[in-house]
Structure 1
Amino acid sequence: MPFHLYFDESDLLRCRFALSPLWETQEAVRLLRRPGRHGYHLPWLRRVRKDAAGLDLTPLWLLMPDGGYNPDFICPPPLGPLATFAEEIATVRAMDPAAARDDMAHALADTPGGLRSPAGQRMLADPARAVRELADLLERAWELMVEPHWPRLRALLEADIAYHSRRLAEVGFERLLGEVSPRLQWADSTLTVVGTVGNHSRVLGGQGLVLVPSVFTWPDVVGGFEPPWQPAVVYPARGIGGLWTESAGRTPDALARLLGRGRADVLCALGEPAGTSALANRLSLAPSSVSAHLSALRAAGLLTSRRYGHQVLYERTPLGIALAAQEP
């Protein structure tokens, strides 16, 4: 069933992109219970399985029914384009217990046995304590499962935003939505998210929309967030197929002879826009070396750069793309 979001002119002026480390954390928690969705993330799962086994994630899983209501308060829409986990978890901790109880009761009712379970009854009996404990559990999940990999995840999410921001300028909002996901359809000032559970609608009322790329949401598109939260659509980020893939040494020998091995490796690693830290991690090089290679490649007209938030993202020019596309 579809989810409908109704826009007016002021809403179109208030659409923005943002990324959310808290969203990635709760989706990583959800992914542990969905073996059919591991797919692209099996390398990550192998790395975190031991640490995750030491966490009792039952309270969070009770609030994550497949095909049912999921509480907004444990993962509200991002506060800004580059909100930190600390900022986001502070919002969770500040949640009104009465509103949180309503949210939890709704989710538990959609979870088979949730309302009757000891953990569910404990949450509803003392929602203030439940909010604190859920926030603590999310924070621990972040520290063990997501934070060690956040530079890599953040680089991919920021590259997605940079790409789609450029496409917005090139093709406009309507065409952009179809490129973000085929499950987003635009007609008559209405955004429809197809394939969601239930038939819902919301008038944006001047709040605009937050578009949030996600690594762990794949292959779903999540639309919604009830008042008072700003409406948001979470969609799978571009490039997750290669997220956990290490460099395979496919740099063409001819290109390495022309540019030098280090610079050629950096050029070939830029299949998507990326920053210095992400490239250093991907290529197992010192950030200072990668920075020097990037400067040289940009000076030669093979790369362009743009600042996004706290870092500079590099992208191949048409000439750089042509050189990197040579057969190994």
Structure 2
Amino acid sequence: MRAKLTLSVSDLAHTRFALCPMWEVVTSFRALIGTPVPALHRGWAAQVRPRCAAAGLDHGWLADMIAPTGHLPDFLNPPPTGYARTLDEELATIAATDPRQVRQDLDYLAAERGGRLPPRLRALYRDPPAQLPRLAAEIEAYWELALAPYWARIRAVLEADVFHRARQAAGSGTARMLNNLHETVRWDGDSLLLTERHCRLTRIATGGGLVLAPSAFAWPRVLTRAVAPDPPQLAYPARGAATLWESRREPRTDALAAVVGRSRALLLAELDSPASTTELAHRADLSAAAVSQHLTALHSAALVSAHRAGRSVLYARTALADALLDAQP
């Protein structure tokens, strides 16, 4: 498969990067249902799959809509209006999608699946305004279970990728930056050539410019979106994604313990992967009541974030806590 995207001077002038939570939703869900799960994400999937199954997300809206290969509904990836939209902003846009766009995407899915859609998607086809809020609610539930506890780490990888490519464009030009996005992407004079694409892309009637969206879960593919009148989007594998789930070196907490206390410093160190109060109590050899008290204090200080997972709550280190641990001598 090959596509040619001709870019004008105006398009190049309006080429920009964007961090898009919904690209991480659709690509991570596709990775999660892979057989097998890509080796890069198996550690993450081992933690997330049981939570999603317990919440019924393994046979919900996303499972009906996203297959391991094939078309990804374009309306799930609305055009970014800034550098970093929040998930809530993207979900509001999805809930207000033009019914014609929803039905067009579902027609593509039906064509890929022999002309049939599951009952949920047939209901969505009949009445998009009534069903889209239900889809948005499930996406939010999936985000809380599968991505929010890890978002500080994921976003750091995405930010580092954008910083690297912005410096590359500044030092060597936009053409070299585009040539280095992915092995299937090549700049050729006035056009961007894409091979082995996994989404539709056409320049006809699409908007000006180009949106480049780094993704921690897109590997090994480049994914595209082209819906008039929006500018086309390229979601490409972010640099550093291969190190995303690597265990960090055991942090020294002596200096931090002098400020926040030994037990709280220990809990921050144990939160290299998200965990519940019970899990942390077992890891740190503390009572659940003591852990709960410490986590409340750490949450108030913005050092941990809390995410509902069924009847329990998962706690995760924030970027601020990561920075404090990384600064230890």
Same fold, TM exceeding 0.5?
A: yes
Alignment RMSD? 3.0
Query: What amino acid does structure 1 have at the position aligned with 2:224?
Result: G
Q: Give the conservation status (yes or no) of the 8 Å contact 1:69–1:107.
A: yes
Query: Structure 1, residues 111-134: CA drift from partner, whole Å, max 9, x if none?
Result: 34643x323322222222221221
Choose 146-155 or 89-98, whichever is displaced more: 89-98
Deviation of the 1:29 alpha carbon: 1.6
Deviation of the 1:70 alpha carbon: 2.1
Deviation of the 1:203 alpha carbon: 4.8
Give the corresponding residue for 1:28. 28
Q: Give the conservation status (yes or no) of the 8 Å contact 2:52–2:142.
A: yes
Give the corresponding residue for 2:62. 60
Query: What amino acid does structure 2 have at the position aligned with 1:15?
Result: T
Q: Distance in 2 between matches of 1:139 and 1:185?
A: 35
Query: Structure 1, residues 99-153: CA drift from partner, whole Å, max 9, x if none?
Result: 32222222232234643x3233222222222212211111111111111110000
Choose 13-22 or 222-231, whichever is displaced more: 222-231
Q: Give the conservation status (yes or no) of the 8 Å contact 1:2–1:200.
A: no
Deviation of the 1:199 alpha carbon: 7.7
Deviation of the 1:2 alpha carbon: 1.1
CA 1:69 to 1:105, structure 2 compared with 1: closer, same or farther past 3 Å?
A: same
Give the corresponding residue for 1:134. 135
Secondary structure class of the residue paired with 1:201: coil
Where does the alignment leave 5 or more consecutive residues of structure 1 unmatched?
252-276, 294-328
Secondary structure class of the residue paired with 1:5: strand
Give the corresponding residue for 1:92. 94
Identity %: 33
Aligned counterparts, 1:1-328, within 5 A: 1-53=1-53, 54-56=55-57, 57-112=59-114, 114-115=116-117, 117-197=118-198, 200-203=201-204, 207-248=208-249, 287-288=323-324, 290=326
Following superposition, which runs of at least 4 residues in structure 1 exceed 4 angstroms of deviation? 197-200, 203-206, 280-293
Where does the alignment leave 5 or more consecutive residues of structure 2 unmatched?
253-302, 305-315
Q: Give the conservation status (yes or no) of the 8 Å contact 2:95–2:133.
A: yes
Q: Distance in 2 between matches of 1:250 and 1:288?
A: 10
Give the corresponding residue for 1:308. none
Q: Give the conservation status (yes or no) of the 8 Å contact 1:11–1:206.
A: no
User: If the length of structure 1 is used for normalisation, what is the TM-score?
Assistant: 0.72
Query: What amino acid does structure 1 have at the position aligned with 2:16?
Result: R
Q: Distance in 2 between matches of 1:199 and 1:89?
A: 22
CA 1:282 to 1:246, structure 2 compared with 1: closer, same or farther past 3 Å?
A: farther
Query: Structure 1, residues 278-319: CA drift from partner, whole Å, max 9, x if none?
Result: 9x95999675465687xxxxxxxxxxxxxxxxxxxxxxxxxx
User: If the length of structure 2 is used for normalisation, what is the TM-score?
Assistant: 0.72
How many residues align? The count is: 267
Deviation of the 1:68 alpha carbon: 3.2
Q: Distance in 1 between matches of 2:145 and 2:114?
A: 28
Query: What amino acid does structure 2 have at the position aligned with 1:90?
Result: A
